[in-house]
Structure 1
């Protein structure tokens, strides 16, 4: 009887070690690290299309920045969600370059702007996560796009044309999962290489958009995640 009890205890301990150890091994040894957050440093910070004014230290853009700018193929959008697998923490990150849109600059303000993300093309490092994202969670067959529309002008600072990074906010309507919510996105921007690069991150509470809890089985998530953007506008 003592031998049987010892065997049962040994099996229970082995199962516990396997339950905790396997996720740890997968997350810390096998699984690739989540991609770093998007930053303006992703865009090469050179400005060959600009010249330095002889009487100032400012960079003068020959054609100016007034007019319409269009999102280019360098742009990225995606999500970042914290995941807990049997006590082990990791991040789920999905991204796509299928982003389109424009912005209009009049005088010293961005007067209109809109971008659309093709949600059906978002991919992570896990086919199983992607299947859950496109199906049960975001239902991209029904809601294939996410759209942001600027509702308040963005007044550009004096250094907007100097090639320096500057911070501001973009206030508008974000439509996600078929639900539109008024949001303000903190952004950092820079005129670089004749293009306007804009990076922004906004925390999304899933319930605000009618998005179901992404948790499934042993994988638990927070009730919120980040929408990450790196938009590169050219013309």
Structure 2
């Protein structure tokens, strides 16, 4: 009788172990394969085209971020052996640039970090509360530290790519960065896009410590901005 009970518990324990293994492998596989949406293309590569109809607004002067401006973060994760790219986006973006001749003399963009969202509410809570600590650091900022020199005043419908030097502030830490900006001129708007590589430890951003989930140390901050005359 005792031997029968022991064999029963051994079989039960083995069955429970097998179910646990299936849970941590099959469920993440099913989530990443059938449920999680494929990561969209980066904002820097989506190539939003401004409207080119009508008379052109003069380039000189102050331009402000308009509706349709977006910012994002992208980071690779391994969820129980399944690789995914997490993408968080927000349209809560403010900013302005000043243009004089062929130079963007000043520029600044602010992003509301509490509004950044992915396809997973638990990941978003981890991002807001632990990674970015948005209650203490509600805004991420990019600000030019030197004028951006355009090779010439772009014609309506023309696209230029120029390097820009600035400072990126994440989680209260500010570091110098250089980013290639793609500028497209419309009749009454400018679109500006680019992507900045980010090493989490450079900005004192902790990597999540969650069983079964590994997050890369490397991420990217991208943006696709629409500016209109102030």
Query: TM-score, length-normalised on structure 2?
Result: 0.88
Corresponding residue for 1:100?
94
Corresponding residue for 1:30?
35
Q: What CA distance in whole angstroms lies between the structure 2 residues aligned with 1:40 and 1:157?
A: 22
Q: What CA distance in whole angstroms lies between the structure 1 residues aligned with 2:194 and 2:214?
A: 26
- In the alignment, structure 1 residue 171 sits paired with structure 2 residue 162: no
Structure 2 unaligned regions, length at least 5 = none
- In the alignment, structure 1 residue 122 sits paired with structure 2 residue 127: no
Structure 1 unaligned regions, length at least 5 = 51-60
Corresponding residue for 1:197?
191
Secondary structure at the aligned position of 1:188 is classed as strand
Q: What CA distance in whole angstroms lies between the structure 2 residues aligned with 1:218 and 1:29?
A: 19
Q: Measured at CA, do residues 159 and 182 of structure 1 come closer, stay the same or move farther in structure 2, by a change above 3 Å?
A: same
Q: Measured at CA, do residues 107 and 11 of structure 1 come closer, stay the same or move farther in structure 2, by a change above 3 Å?
A: same
Q: How many Å apart are 1:14 and its aligned residue? A: 4.8
Secondary structure at the aligned position of 1:26 is classed as helix
Q: What CA distance in whole angstroms lies between the structure 2 residues aligned with 1:214 and 1:199?
A: 29
The count of residues paired between Structure 1 and Structure 2 equals: 224
Match of 2:75 among 69, 81, 85: 81
Q: How does 1:1-235 map to 2 (within 5 A)?
A: 12-39=17-44, 41=46, 43-50=48-55, 61=56, 63-158=57-152, 160-235=154-229
Is the 8 Å Cα contact of residues 65 and 161 (structure 1) preserved in structure 2? Answer: no
Q: Measured at CA, do residues 12 and 216 of structure 1 come closer, stay the same or move farther in structure 2, by a change above 3 Å?
A: closer
Q: How many Å apart are 1:89 and its aligned residue? A: 0.5
State which drifts further: 37-46 or 65-74: 37-46
Q: How many Å apart are 1:139 and its aligned residue? A: 0.3
Is the 8 Å Cα contact of residues 76 and 216 (structure 2) preserved in structure 1? Answer: yes
Secondary structure at the aligned position of 1:143 is classed as coil
Q: How many Å apart are 1:87 and its aligned residue? A: 0.8
Q: Measured at CA, do residues 6 and 89 of structure 1 come closer, stay the same or move farther in structure 2, by a change above 3 Å?
A: same
Q: What CA distance in whole angstroms lies between the structure 1 residues aligned with 2:38 and 2:59?
A: 38
Q: What CA distance in whole angstroms lies between the structure 1 residues aligned with 2:112 and 2:12?
A: 55
Is the 8 Å Cα contact of residues 40 and 198 (structure 1) preserved in structure 2? Answer: no
